[in-house]
Chain A
Amino acid sequence: MEDKSIIELYFQRDEKAIKESQNKYGSYCRAIAHNILHSKEDTEECVNDTWLRSWNSMPPDKPNRLSVYFGRITRNLAIDRYRKERSMKHGGGQIAICLDELSECIGESTPIEDTVALKDLLSKFLLSLPEKNRHIFLFRYWYMMPVSDIADHYEMTSDAVKMLLMRTRKKLEEYLKKEGSEK
């Protein structure tokens, strides 16, 4: 089913919307949640919550890209779940490592107040990158894909992907410094 028709179903409050969303984007959302949580049960719950959240937010939301819309909700739900449980649960997902990597390019000396401003800076920064580097950065930190999967996709070695990510983080650190946001 076309994305447009699925969105239409949400707007008509037709419960088929959820079924169609599951059919088309279930595996996509599941992959994102799995990258973060690495647990079958948590992944399932998170993906179920995605449809509920979408049902409540459409309307008024009318997404341009339905995949990213669902993916973003799943990502947020999975990160929330991870944060709630990280002190108790055996990790295995990628998020702990991603957070560790991201901490390299953003210090703790000045707490960030304005996440929206940071997002705008990030968007500008990402647009300045070559497309491949931008995609690799987002595969890693938006989809939380394991380095090895990114390497497989580009037929690169894991080392090369790690190196590219490290350089991008370094650039981001300098960019944020220059823009006065942090460090």
Chain B
Amino acid sequence: MKNEDKLLDAIGMIDEELIPEMPKAKESAAPVKHKKTGKSRKAFWIEIGIAAAAVILVVAIALPKVLYKKKNRAVKAEAVYPEMAKCPEAVSPVLRGDDYDPDAYREQYEKWWASREEFRNQPEGYADGFKKFLEKSTGTFAEEAEDKNFVYSPLSLYLCMCMVAEAADGNTRQEILDLLGVSDIETLRTASKALFLANYVDDGAGKCLLANSIWMSDHFEYKNDTVERIATEYLASVFSGDPEDEKYVEEFRNWLNRQTDGLLTDYVDDLGMDPNLLLMVASTINYSGKWEMRFHEDETKPGTFHAPTGDVTCDFMNMEYEKFYCCTGDGYTAIELPVSGNGKMRLILPDQGTSVQELMKEGDFIGFLNDNHPHNDPFYEAMVDLSLPKFDVSYKNDMIDELRKLGIKDAFDENRGNFGSITDQGPNDKIYVKQVEQDVRVMIDEEGVKGAAITIAMAVAQCAPSDKYTFVFDRPFIFEVFSDTGAPLFVGVVNDPTA
């Protein structure tokens, strides 16, 4: 045993009259129940360490001309989203609270744990298709990252494309299945539902809310069995209305805003419906959590960030002498910040002289991005001084070109698109995917007390785990947010935290 261990033991043996009473916690950090309105947003952000991010992805299948003029058969169903037992800290005073009731805590803890396990325990191999999709697609979408800030949500795109595959038929469906890494539609149904549930968190502490919906037109007739399957297998809400009716369009926007807590209002306001709309598919992710090791507000101070377009001043959150998982790779250094009970954020800083774009073109690096590294390797624990800019980045991504590059051809071709699973499609009916749009926003924030920041250059060399690292994220860097089960929810690049 080392001397410091012995000293720690000796301190533990100190005479009891010397031991002071433990101070009571001033205010518990119990999470605030987030009201689903834009108004509470500010208060909510103060409570959390890592800010929420939200995704909207909309696929519109439009017709060049109106094919049917049938009466509305409004198949309407509101998806019932799974209920998860609340985290004990969210319902009873936290560990040091005065009113602590051990039996209630234990009972709640057991309920919560069983509930989390039930969600996490999905059929073996359920994420295999998603992994294949990541292998194929991350590099293609990462090429988008140029001099601007960029964010992309692989999981949201995947879940949305699953529903599109269900609506498609023939080769159109097969191309989508190939990209989604599954051999047949039955496997896709199982995988999609399992992915949805495994990544869903709503326990009052962390939040990773997924939601799906489809929006149909009163002008057309749909195959009820397919619509019902989308509702049940993909946990989607189903709506029907007249796409030319502003009220219906408003209902669509309201649904998106509700699911994303109003974080993407700017994008949602611009969304409309094509009069020839056959089907609109939407998939959202609404994520937030608290840093396990919070930043203190007083230690945040302005600093210079070297953006590609010139130096800018922004607020850097600072943390000294804390333990994190880190690693060094070929051309980069990375650190993982755990999010309490809700996954982690990985931050990757390219070496001086290496650009984000250069890294993103490396196959090995894309492999590193896609891997959650559940057993930590190549990460190891190290003491870290960290300086990280606060950021709020958003990105609107029209994805058709990338999806074409990834092998989806027929769905976008009005002469070859086959959506015979959702509606009776005659030989002359031209149905194709007109729009695929993903809007993403990720913010990080802190909470806390004071301190001085250090702005020394980062240690790049491979260090022994006991050495101390200094991470200064003062130039473009890459971030990823992983869910608790290790699925990459968001991948992004911060080129300018002030943009």
Contact = CB atoms under 8 A, between A and B. Distances in A.
Contact of B338 (A30, A71, A90, A103): A90
Interface in B266-307: 292-294, 296, 298-299
Contact of B292 (A92, A145, A151): A92
Nearest to A27: B100
Contacts of B98: 27
B95 A31 contact: yes
B186 interface: no
B451 A34 contact: no
B3 A112 contact: yes
Nearest to B293: A92
Contact of B450 (A103, A123, A159): A159
Given A151-B449, A159-B450, A111 B11 contact: no
A99 B292 contact: no
Contact of B14 (A90, A138, A157): A138
A105 B3 CA distance: 10
Contacts of A100: 4, 321, 383
A17 B292 CA distance: 35
Given A27-B100, A123-B18, A157 B449 contact: yes
Contacts of A64: 16-17
A68 B383 contact: no
A158 B6 contact: no
Nearest to B13: A119
Given A158-B451, A159-B451, A139 B14 contact: no
Nearest to A153: B23
Interface stretch (A2-10, A52-60, A72-80): A72-80
Interface centre among B2, B109, B376 (most CB of A within 10 A): B2
Contacts of A152: 26, 449
A90 B376 contact: yes
Contacts of B451: 157-159
A91 B20 contact: no
Contact of A115 (B10, B17, B25, B95): B10
A138 B19 contact: yes
B14 A158 contact: no
B461 interface: no
Nearest to A161: B449
A26 B23 CA distance: 15
Chain A interface size, under 10 / 10 to 19 / 20 to 34 / 35 or more: 35 or more
Interface residues of B, number: 52
A148 interface: yes
B450 A158 contact: yes
Contacts of A69: 16
B323 A115 contact: no
B322 interface: yes
Contacts of B15: 123
A103 B323 CA distance: 16
A116 B452 CA distance: 39
Given A91-B323, A91-B381, A142 B448 contact: no
Contact of A138 (B6, B20, B95, B100): B20
B90 to A, nearest CB: 13
A28 interface: yes
A52 to B, nearest CB: 15
Given A97-B321, A98-B8, A115 B13 contact: yes
A98 B321 CA distance: 11
A158 B16 contact: no
Interface in A70-113: 71-72, 75-76, 79, 83, 90-92, 95-100, 102-103, 105-108, 111-112
Contact of B8 (A68, A99, A107, A134): A99
A79 B12 contact: yes
Contact of A92 (B5, B21, B321, B338): B338
Nearest to A47: B102
Contacts of B11: 119, 122, 138, 141-142
A94 to B, nearest CB: 9
Nearest to B20: A135
B296 A158 contact: yes
A95 B298 CA distance: 24
A63 B102 CA distance: 23
B124 interface: no
Given A38-B292, A102-B8, A111-B3, A71 B19 contact: yes
Contacts of A145: 22-23
Contact of A106 (B4, B96, B448): B4
B277 to A, nearest CB: 48
A148 B12 contact: no
A23 B16 contact: no
**Which 9 A-B residue pairings sit nearest by Cβ, starting from the closest?**
A27-B100, A103-B4, A157-B450, A26-B102, A118-B10, A153-B23, A68-B16, A119-B13, A119-B10
21 contacts: A27-B96, A27-B97, A27-B100, A28-B96, A31-B25, A40-B109, A91-B381, A92-B323, A97-B322, A97-B383, A99-B2, A99-B4, A102-B7, A112-B7, A123-B14, A126-B14, A134-B20, A148-B448, A149-B25, A151-B449, A159-B450
Given A68-B16, A122-B10, 15 more contacts: A26-B105, A27-B95, A27-B100, A34-B95, A64-B16, A79-B12, A90-B381, A95-B8, A102-B4, A115-B9, A122-B7, A142-B12, A148-B296, A157-B451, A158-B449
Interface of B: 2-23, 25-26, 95-98, 100, 102, 105-106, 109, 292-294, 296, 298-299, 321-323, 325, 338, 376, 381, 383, 448-452
